[in-house]
């Protein structure tokens, strides 16, 4: 849901009011973070990219126009492009923090965490095999909780096209996950 006074806050931020931009950040940071998180490999990277998104939004706020697209859609576009930039420039590394030594008396908790992590990784991996439009539609629908009408406006498509992308995306996702379970 867009802020009731979003337009006023954007105009104030464009005039240099950092407090107005702070209110926009507070209202949309969590949604942008979730959007990014389901496209990258870990929480730290998602946090870093989310910060980059808002820095880019602040730096380029003078370019934003209400007539072209809603402010939140503009943020999602910046987030999408920043994730793409991340994958273009990343180097594969593993942080030592990610390596966890288990204690014998906590083995069940560790197993559950491993299972949950594996499931999330499978879903992320399967999502990445979908087309860009299918990924966006499924993320906006099931992670962001947007309606088909909101997604259609956000992506500049008809609602029927959104339903079709959603159906094909879910079918492809189910097939990918089913194949991984067979292996």
Q: Which two tokens stand for residue 55?
A: 């820095």
Q: Pick 1-90's CATH classification: 1.10.260.40, 3.65.10.10, 1.10.3720.10, 1.10.1740.10.
A: 1.10.1740.10
Given pLDDT bands bounded at 50, 70 and 90, which one contains residue 104?
Answer: very low
Is there a common fold for 1-90 and 109-183?
no
Unique residue bearing structure tokens 């950092």: 18
- The architecture that CATH gives domain 109-183 is Orthogonal Bundle (1.10)
For 65-81, how does the pLDDT look when each residue is reduced to its tens digit (9 = 90+)? 887 678 888 999 899 99
Region class of 121: left (phi > 0), else alpha (psi between -120 and 50), else beta: alpha
* Number of neighbours of residue 23 by Cβ within 10 angstroms: 18
Model pTM greater than 0.85? no
Given pLDDT bands bounded at 50, 70 and 90, which one contains residue 53?
Answer: very high
Quickly list H helices, the chain.
6-14, 18-37, 43-59, 71-89, 107-127, 132-138, 148-155, 159-182
- Given a cut of 60, whether residue 2 has pLDDT beyond it is no
For 143-179, how does the pLDDT look when each residue is reduced to its tens digit (9 = 90+)? 777 888 888 888 888 988 998 888 888 888 778 777 7
Cα three-residue angle 92-95-98, rounded to 5 degrees: 120
Q: For the packed helices 18-37 and 71-89, what is the interaxial angle rounded to 10 degrees?
A: 60
For the chain, percent of residues with pLDDT exceeding 70:
79
Given pLDDT bands bounded at 50, 70 and 90, which one contains residue 36?
Answer: very high
**Domain range summary for the chain, segments of one domain joined by +:** 1-90, 109-183
What is the C-alpha separation between 102 and 81, in angstroms, rounded?
38
């Amino acid at each position: 849901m867009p802020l009731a006074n979003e337009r006023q806050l954007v105009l104030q931020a464009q005039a240099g009011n950092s407090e107005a931009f702070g209110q926009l950040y507070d209202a949309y940071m969590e949604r942008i973070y979730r959007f990014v998180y389901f496209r990258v490999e870990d929480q730290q990277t998602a946090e870093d990219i989310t910060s980059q998104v808002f820095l880019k939004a602040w730096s380029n706020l003078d370019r934003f126009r209400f007539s072209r697209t809603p402010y939140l859609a503009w943020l999602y576009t910046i987030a999408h492009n920043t994730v793409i930039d991340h994958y273009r420039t990343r180097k594969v590394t593993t942080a030592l923090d990610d390596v966890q030594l288990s204690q014998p008396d906590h083995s069940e908790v560790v197993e559950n965490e491993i299972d949950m992590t594996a499931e999330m990784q499978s879903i992320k991996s399967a999502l990445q095999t979908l087309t860009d439009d299918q990924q966006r539609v499924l993320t906006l629908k099931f992670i962001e909780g947007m309606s088909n009408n909101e997604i259609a406006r956000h992506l500049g498509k008809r609602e029927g096209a959104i339903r079709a992308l959603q159906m094909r995306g879910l079918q492809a996702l189910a097939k990918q996950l089913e194949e991984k379970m067979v292996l």
